[in-house]
Amino acid sequence: MSLKNKKLLAIVLVALVLWFIPAPAGLTDNAWHFLAIFLAVVVGLILEPIPAALIGFSGVSLVAVLGLVGNPKVSISWALSGFSNSVIWLIFAAFMFALGYKKTGLGRRISLIMVKFMGKSTLGLGYAVAVSDLILSPFMPSNTARSGGTIYPVAINIPQIFNSYPDKDPRKIGAFISWVAIASTCVTSSMFITALAPNLLAIDLIAKETGQTIAWIEWAKIMVPLMLPLFLLTPWLTYVIYPPTQKTSPEAPLWAAQELEKLGKITFKECLMGLLALLALLLWIFGSALGVNATTVAICIVSIMALTGIISWDDLLSEKAAFNILIWFATLVALADGLKKVGILDFIGSNSEALLSNLNTTSLMLALLLFFYVLHYFFASTTAHVTALVPLFMVIITAFIPAHQVLNFSILLAGSLGVMGILTPYATGPSPLWYGAGYISQARWWALGAIFGAIYLIPILIGVFIFV
């Protein structure tokens, strides 16, 4: 039996075993069967024998056809509910922003400019890679597209200038660049709500439980002050903890200058893309005060991008990653909503009281953040982590944390999703790419992940005392 078939069999077995276990007291058979399918989907997202979007789509289809959430009319309305979700379309539109950066060449130009002006020393080169990621992060919700698709092609060429290869002098400069790149993108993924697609999925799940939608600026007011010092320290921390053997890099700015010459003068479309991205950012920050919805801003900007030729309609239709995310997240939103619909979340909330009632509020918040963070060791997908855990944690949060503290604490919880990507070689989208470059061994990656993971958790925990 192939590995793929073994993984598929494991998913089916999870569903079947749970299905035939009698439902615990307080849960209906329909609720228990829904949970069996939901957990099988989560296992599928971790093992991923088939595309993740297909796993979610299949799970929703199965629940609907079995009528676990209601009659046929209710079932189909529930199954398609995720596709009418504004946050899902915000994610889709933001993927088009990433496509615009790629098509115009603006993303590559920004990275090369950073290397040209900051790359004379190896530490400066690390900061150039980090700042490039920071500039792009508010507009690119896929850190895989940002770090892997835009930063990686530029940064991975730099070590070779100094004869640093995976099998020859990797510590000279290649290992340093690789770790700074992945560590920086984890920090920026937490800094902005639009820097990581699972951030947006998490805020939608939070809104379903609390009735409050977290705005771009509300997230930034908490996460930017916590993450900015961490961002500024990351290249230096890497330089101290995992130092390169080569300390200067005079060739890198020369190489970047040559690459910029090949790109030629900045084009009208690059300027237009930059202005549209800036306009989107300003409206995301101030739009709520003006009565403008963030998703409305995003889809309007995408329309302008298509009408002005930054991207073509064919480009939009052929962007498989965006449509994959649209289907994947829409089905996961429906499944997570189904947990509440069939009564599972209410059941968990009523049964958690005995376990948690002895903790004071601060201790409970710190324990929840730590537990939520460490559990990521068991997930190969941040999206799977969000889908499986955010609804459950929100039940506890709304039950045991005072109402006036729930929103800010929820931002801290969701804000940890980016930085937890540093923990393992599979913890976030671009990790396998930078690990696969070969400059850092698996043992070294796990060790660095544990060290940086502990450091990155500290500001999140401190946030409880400052903002909650």
- What's the per-residue H, E or C state across 261-287? HHHCCCCHHHHHHHHHHHHHHHHHHHH
Q: Which backbone phi and psi does 85 adopt, to 5 degrees?
A: -80, 125
Q: How far apart are CA 273 and CA 277, in angstroms?
A: 6
Q: How far apart are CA 292 and CA 281, in angstroms?
A: 12
Q: Which residue has the higher pLDDT, 347 or 363?
A: 363
pLDDT at 355: 67
Nearest to 209 by CA among 394, 372, 416, 436: 394
Task: Please return the burial class of 123, using the count of CB atoms within 10 Å of its CB with bins 0-12, 13-18 and 19+.
Answer: buried
The mean of the pLDDT values for the chain is 88
C-beta separation of 237 from 451 below 8 A: no
When pLDDT is averaged across residues 51-74 and rounded to a whole number, the result is: 89
C-beta separation of 243 from 176 below 8 A: yes
Please list the residues that pair with 352 across neighbouring strands: none
The token pair at 218 is 């509300």
Q: How far apart are CA 123 and CA 118, in angstroms?
A: 9
When pLDDT is averaged across residues 16-23 and rounded to a whole number, the result is: 91
Residue type, 67: G
The token pair at 232 is 């500024």
pLDDT at 291: 78
Model confidence at 120, in pLDDT bands (50, 70, 90)? confident
CA-based torsion, 51, 337, 137, 124: positive or negative: negative
Q: How far apart are CA 26 and CA 81, in angstroms?
A: 27
Q: What's the farthest any 2 CA atoms get from each other in the chain?
A: 70
Q: Which backbone phi and psi does 326 adopt, to 5 degrees?
A: -60, -50
For residue 287, CA distances in Å to 274, 404, 407 come to 19, 24, 19
Residue 24 DSSP one-character state: P
pLDDT at 352: 67
Please list the residues that pair with 168 across neighbouring strands: 165
Q: Which backbone phi and psi does 165 adopt, to 5 degrees?
A: -125, 165
When pLDDT is averaged across residues 214-221 and rounded to a whole number, the result is: 92
The token pair at 101 is 């950066």
434-444 pLDDT, tens digit each: 888 889 988 89
% residues pLDDT > 70 (the chain): 98
Residue 22 DSSP one-character state: P
**Vertex 185: Cα angle to 183 and 187 (nearest 5):** 75
When pLDDT is averaged across residues 220-242 and rounded to a whole number, the result is: 96
Residue type, 54: L
pTM for this model (two decimals): 0.82
The token pair at 245 is 């053997």
Q: Per-residue pLDDT for 232 more than 80?
A: yes
pLDDT at 309: 92
CA-based torsion, 380, 87, 60, 209: positive or negative: positive
pLDDT at 25: 84
Average the pLDDT over each of 46-55, 226-235, 285-294 and give the range with the smallest value. 285-294
Residues 6+ away with beta carbon under 8 Å from 455: 230, 237
When pLDDT is averaged across residues 82-105 and rounded to a whole number, the result is: 84
303-355 pLDDT, tens digit each: 999 999 999 999 999 988 888 888 888 888 888 888 878 888 778 777 766 66
Residue type, 374: V
Element housing 308 (H / E): none
Radius of gyration of the chain measured on its C-alpha atoms = 23
Residues 6+ away with beta carbon under 8 Å from 150: 98, 101, 102, 107, 108, 111, 132, 136, 140
Average the pLDDT over each of 279-283, 380-384, 411-415 and give the range with the smallest value. 380-384
Q: How far apart are CA 60 and CA 79, in angstroms?
A: 6
How many Cβ atoms are within 10 Å of 462's Cβ, its own excluded? 12
pLDDT at 13: 93
Q: Which backbone phi and psi does 147 adopt, to 5 degrees?
A: -80, -45
C-beta separation of 60 from 334 below 8 A: yes
132-161 pLDDT, tens digit each: 999 989 888 888 888 877 888 888 888 888
Kindly report the three-state secondary structure assignment for every residue of 206-263: HHHHHCCCCCHHHHHHHHHHHHHHHHHHHHHHHHHHCCCCCCECCHHHHHHHHHHHHH
Model confidence at 224, in pLDDT bands (50, 70, 90)? very high
